[in-house]
């Protein structure tokens, strides 16, 4: 990630933002985009912005991504107009100074965007208590509720088949077949783990095809660190990282919350004895989500527990595929990083399977 202040200043001044550039420092722990917290001085008062370089190797059509984000954030702000603290509860996109577009291109062709910085709130990579799980889940449920009446046209698919587990299996099979980096023998146990669960991978897609589970507008990357929690109250304030907001299944969003909020360790923990699905977090997550997700159909509620297993397996498959392919998608910080992530996800799947009956009982009790 570049920290060239002159280059970052040039990008920032391309936006119609108030304040004099002071500095820009790397911010957050995301895998895909480069993110900076920009400090400015506005008539002597510090003002902050969040500036991001969109990874156009991953998001092949950044203009489509930004079209989605502008439509979604405008709709959210309109729904919350007049509400207390409304400017903290939805991201605000800052337009370009010259043409008013929601992005700026730098001299070498990178795509950049700028948001108002959400003050007095932060994200967590690992949930620290059940209250945080409850608040994060309720925030994602509110997010889905507010977007339920987003007018046509249909949002762009920023990454086609993003949570389509069958497509992810096809990509894994191709990576195994190619074995371009000679890593297949090292991951025989992980390949077998996937093989044993392959027959279940199309279950939600089949129910959707039969019309039992509807398409909705979903976030599609509901890691707990994509909800900002208020520093004082702990309330879920703002849903962030909107690159993958697009048509999807609500169950994908809930499943990814289960994957991240219930985890007892970071997603790249090497000591798998520390990795498990925490039931108290699952209960809090379920209460928070079902309190806000009034739109859910009975068929969707039936699959809440399974969705956690499926999405966790899917993410593990993606980490395994990237490892076999030479670590070309997720940012890595050490040799074998993606394999560590894969193994952690698969350990989480096993933990969820072992506790599935108890998790189903929680859903029935809460629902």
Question: Domain residues for 252?
Answer: 130-366
d(CA 344, CA 356): 18
Which residue is it, tokens 């965007």? 113
**What six digits make up the tokens of 280?**
């108290």
Which residue is it, tokens 């950049």? 112
Task: Spell out, as residue ranges, where the chain has pLDDT lower than 50.
Answer: none
Q: Give me the torsion for CA of 5, 6, 10, 13, rounded to 10°.
A: 60
Residues 153 and 300 in one domain: yes
Q: Give a yes or no: residue 125 inside a domain.
A: no
Q: What's residue 321's pLDDT?
A: 98
Residues 187 and 250 in one domain: yes
Q: Give a yes or no: residue 86 inside a domain.
A: yes
Beta bridge partners of 38: 24, 49
CATH code of residue 175: 3.90.1200.10
pLDDT digits (tens, 9 = 90+) for 254-299: 999 999 899 999 899 999 999 999 999 999 999 999 998 988 999 9
Beta bridge partners of 238: 228
Residues 99 and 162 in one domain: no
Last residue of some domain: 119, 150, 168?
A: 119
Last residue of some domain: 86, 119, 152?
A: 119
Question: What are the phi and psi torsion angles at 268 (to 5°)?
Answer: -120, 25
Residues 16 and 110 in one domain: yes
Residues 351 and 250 in one domain: yes
Which residue is it, tokens 């948001």? 115
* CA distances (Å), origin 42, targets 20, 116, 292: 6, 14, 38
Q: What's residue 367's pLDDT?
A: 77
* CA distances (Å), origin 263, targets 3, 130, 269, 351: 33, 12, 10, 10
Q: What's residue 329's pLDDT?
A: 87
Q: Give a yes or no: residue 324 inside a domain.
A: yes
Residues 295 and 168 in one domain: yes
H helices of the chain, where?
A: 5-12, 62-79, 130-146, 165-178, 188-197, 203-209, 250-261, 279-292, 298-302, 304-324, 337-354, 356-366
d(CA 326, CA 245): 27
- pTM here is 0.89
d(CA 174, CA 168): 10
Indicate the burial class of 341 (C-beta count within 10 angstroms; 0-12, 13-18, 19 or more).
buried
Last residue of some domain: 74, 95, 119?
A: 119
Residues 196 and 334 in one domain: yes
Q: Give a yes or no: residue 20 inside a domain.
A: yes
Q: What's residue 84's pLDDT?
A: 83
What would the DSSP string read from start to end of 89-138?
A: SS--BPPBTTT--S-EE-TTS-EEEEEE---SEE--SS--SHHHHHHHHH
Residues 166 and 106 in one domain: no
Q: What's residue 124's pLDDT?
A: 87
**What six digits make up the tokens of 365?**
């009790």
Q: Give a yes or no: residue 124 inside a domain.
A: no
> Do residues 63 and 27 lie in contact, with contact meaning Cβ atoms separated by under 8 Å?
no
Q: What's residue 53's pLDDT?
A: 97
pLDDT digits (tens, 9 = 90+) for 99-147: 999 999 999 999 999 999 999 999 988 788 999 999 999 999 999 999 9
Residues 303 and 283 in one domain: yes
Q: What's residue 118's pLDDT?
A: 96
> Do residues 24 and 50 lie in contact, with contact meaning Cβ atoms separated by under 8 Å?
no
Residues 257 and 340 in one domain: yes
Instruction: Quote the number of domains for the chain.
Output: 2
Q: Give a yes or no: residue 326 inside a domain.
A: yes
d(CA 144, CA 250): 8
CATH code of residue 12: 3.30.200.20
Residues 316 and 358 in one domain: yes
Residues 147 and 204 in one domain: yes
Q: Give a yes or no: residue 139 inside a domain.
A: yes
């Amino acid at each position: 990630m570049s920290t060239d202040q002159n280059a970052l200043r040039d990008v920032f001044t391309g936006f119609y933002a108030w304040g004099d550039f002071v500095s820009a420092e790397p911010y957050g722990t995301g895998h895909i985009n480069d993110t900076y917290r920009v400090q400015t001085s506005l008539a002597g008062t510090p003002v902050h912005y969040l500036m991001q370089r969109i990874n156009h190797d991953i998001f092949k059509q950044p203009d489509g991504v930004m079209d989605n984000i502008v439509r979604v954030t405008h709709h959210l702000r309109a729904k919350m107009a007049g509400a207390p603290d409304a400017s903290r509860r939805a991201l605000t996109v800052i337009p370009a100074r010259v043409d008013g577009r929601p992005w700026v291109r730098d001299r070498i062709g990178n795509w950049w965007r700028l948001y108002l910085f959400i003050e007095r709130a932060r994200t967590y990579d690992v949930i620290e208590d059940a209250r945080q799980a409850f608040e994060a889940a309720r925030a994602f449920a509110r997010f889905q509720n507010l977007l339920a009446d987003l007018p046509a046209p249909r949002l762009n698919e920023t990454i086609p088949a993003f949570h389509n587990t069958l497509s992810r299996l096809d990509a894994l099979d191709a990576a195994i077949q190619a074995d371009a980096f000679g890593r297949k023998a090292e991951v025989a146990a992980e390949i077998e783990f996937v093989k044993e669960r392959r027959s279940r991978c199309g279950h939600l897609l089949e129910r959707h095809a039969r019309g039992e589970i509807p398409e909705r507008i979903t976030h599609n990357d509901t890691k707990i660190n994509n909800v900002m929690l208020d520093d004082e109250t702990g309330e879920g304030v703002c849903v962030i990282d909107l690159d993958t907001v697009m048509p999807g299944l609500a169950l994908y969003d809930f499943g990814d919350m289960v994957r991240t909020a219930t985890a007892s360790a970071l997603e790249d923990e090497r000591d798998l004895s520390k990795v498990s699905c925490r039931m108290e977090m699952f209960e809090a997550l379920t209460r928070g989500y079902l309190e806000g997700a009034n739109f859910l159909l009975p068929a969707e509620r039936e699959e809440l527990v399974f969705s956690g297993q499926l999405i966790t397996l899917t993410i593990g498959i993606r980490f395994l595929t990237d490892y076999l392919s030479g670590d070309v998608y997720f940012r890595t910080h050490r040799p074998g990083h993606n394999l560590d992530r894969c193994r952690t996800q698969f350990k989480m799947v096993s933990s969820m399977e072992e506790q599935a009956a108890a998790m189903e009982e929680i859903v029935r009790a809460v629902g």
